[in-house]
Amino acid sequence: MSDYIMDLRKEVGHRPLLQVGASVIVEDELGRILLQLRKDNHCWGYAGGSVELDEVVEDAAKRELFEETGLIAEELEMFGVFSGEDMHYVYPNGDEVSNVDIVYLCKKYSGTLKCQETEVEQLKFFDVDNLPKDISYPNIKPINKWVQTKK
C-alpha cells in the first residue's frame, strides 16, 4: 500500500477513502491472463496499487507490475477506467475504499516472474475459459470486461 494512503489511514482510521489505482492486466502470447493470489484476502487479481502523490499513472502501473510480479512492461495500452459502487471495497483489516482503477493491458513485457513476498502468494497464467472462481472483488469488473474482449 502506498505511503500516501498509509499516512492518511493514521488520520482517518478505517473510514472510506477515495483511492486512485494503477493496474495492469498482463496477457501472454497464448492470450492467457496473469493473476496473482493475494496474501491479504486469498483471492486472485491482477497487479496494481495506489498512485502516489504527483506520480504519473502509467509510471505507477509499471512500478506496481514490477514490484508484484518481477515483470517489466515494455508497452502499456489503456484498457479502461473503473469506478462506482461495484469498485467499493473493504480490506480484510477493515480499511474501506472507493476505488477509481485505471487499468492498462500489457502484451509486451520482459523479466522473470517473481512474487512480491509481502503481498503475493502465487503468480499464474489462466486461460479465459479456466479463470479461478475466487477473484478479488475490485478486480471482477475489469476482468469481466477483459473476458468479453476474448469472446
* Residue pLDDT, tens place only, 25-60: 999 999 999 999 999 999 999 999 999 999 999 999
Query: What's the CATH number of domain 3-150, 3.40.50.1220, 3.20.20.70, 3.30.200.20, 3.90.79.10?
Result: 3.90.79.10
DSSP of 32-86: PEEEEEETTT--EE-EEEEPPTT--HHHHHHHHHHHHHSEEEEEEEEEEEE-SGG
Backbone angles phi, psi at 139, to 5 degrees: -95, -10
Q: Give the rounded distance of the alpha carbon of 40 from its chain centre.
A: 13
pLDDT at 1 over 80: no
Q: What is the mean pLDDT of the chain?
A: 96
Average pLDDT for 62-67: 98
| DSSP 3-state of 129 | helix
Q: Give the rounded distance of the alpha carbon of 109 from its chain centre.
A: 16
d(CA 16, CA 98): 7
What cell was used for 37?
A: 493470489
Sorting pLDDT into bands at 50, 70 and 90, what band is 10?
A: very high
What cell was used for 20?
A: 486512485
Sorting pLDDT into bands at 50, 70 and 90, what band is 151?
A: confident
| DSSP 3-state of 118 | coil
Place of cell 484476502: 41
pLDDT at 2 over 80: no
Average pLDDT for 5-14: 92
Sorting pLDDT into bands at 50, 70 and 90, what band is 83?
A: very high
Sorting pLDDT into bands at 50, 70 and 90, what band is 146?
A: very high
